Amino acid sequence: MGDLSGQLALVTGACGKLGPIWIEALTRVGARVIGVDVLPGEFDGATSIEVADVTDRDSLLALRARIGTPNVLVNNAGIDQPPSGDAGSAAIEDVPFDDFRRVLDVNLAGTFLATQVFGSAMRDAGRGSIVNLGSLYAGIAPDPSMYDHLQLDPPFLKPPAYGASKAGVLSLTRYFARLWGPYGVRVNALSPGGVLGGQDPEFLRKFTARTPLRRLAEADDLTGPLLFLASEASRYVTGHELRVDGGFTA
């Protein structure tokens, strides 16, 4: 049931940490995968990478004209801290409003635009699965004490817009699930918890201690849930948030 042979899958934010994991998994079950990113990236010959910006409707419309209507859309493009800003380490009273808005723009408005452009074509085709990337911080607030060992002044803060944007993504997930369910398009969210990748040892110790399964996620922990939501294995599931967080939010 997880087979996606002959299907076209589109993954936004393809060239970051998780994009290649989704692309590899979708390719493994037979999908033809097109990745989208603002940055050109390196992938094996089976995957084409298109340069487009999820906050730019015209660039998404041009992409749709080039590639057609996907069967699977993974709305994965997102930012945590704006690339040019330092909102994460500014004191809360100094977090630049533009940084706050940029996170909402990419994570929330970008998910809306890609869904609007590609999802409406999926609705017209009468089939498809959309998977939106949420986060554990869609449902709970980051705990500043996770970072206090860094001893930064001002103390490190996760950007306040991040969780807000992801909570909005969950709302959009339910919105489009209800709107397009009657047309055969399912819309779900996958919310990862902590994913291993270069975190400092003290952060890992604290995070692990609060995670019931006592570790962070590795790539293989995420691919099963993604393929479940993308494929017919979840054919009676829509509007759902699948938390893949080792129980962190339990």
Ligand X SMILES: NC(=O)c1ccc[n+]([C@@H]2O[C@H](COP(=O)([O-])OP(=O)(O)OC[C@H]3O[C@@H](n4cnc5c(N)ncnc54)[C@H](O)[C@@H]3O)[C@@H](O)[C@H]2O)c1
Enzyme catalytic residues: 162
Indicate the SS3 state at residue 220.
helix
Cα–Cα distance for residue pair 127/123, rounded to 1 Å: 6
Question: Rule CB under 6 A: which residues touch ligand X?
Answer: 12-13, 15-19, 36-39, 53-55, 76-79, 106, 110, 133, 135, 192, 194-195
Give the residue with the Cβ less far from ligand X, 88 or 183: 88
Give the residue with the Cβ less far from ligand X, 10 or 77: 77
Q: Are 69 and 121 in contact (CB under 8 A)?
A: yes
In angstroms, give the least distance from the CB of 243 to ligand X. Answer: 10
Cα–Cα distance for residue pair 222/244, rounded to 1 Å: 7
In angstroms, give the least distance from the CB of 5 to ligand X. Answer: 26
In angstroms, give the least distance from the CB of 236 to ligand X. Answer: 25
Give the residue with the Cβ less far from ligand X, 7 or 135: 135
Residue closest to ligand X when measured from CB atoms: 16
In angstroms, give the least distance from the CB of 146 to ligand X. Answer: 13
Q: Are 55 and 36 in contact (CB under 8 A)?
A: no
Give the residue with the Cβ less far from ligand X, 31 or 77: 77
Read off the tokens for 178: 């209800």
Long-range contacts of 218-226 (CB under 8 A, 24+ apart): 219/21, 221/246, 222/18, 222/21, 222/190, 222/192, 222/195, 223/21, 223/22, 223/24, 223/25, 225/190, 226/22, 226/25, 226/26, 226/74, 226/131, 226/190
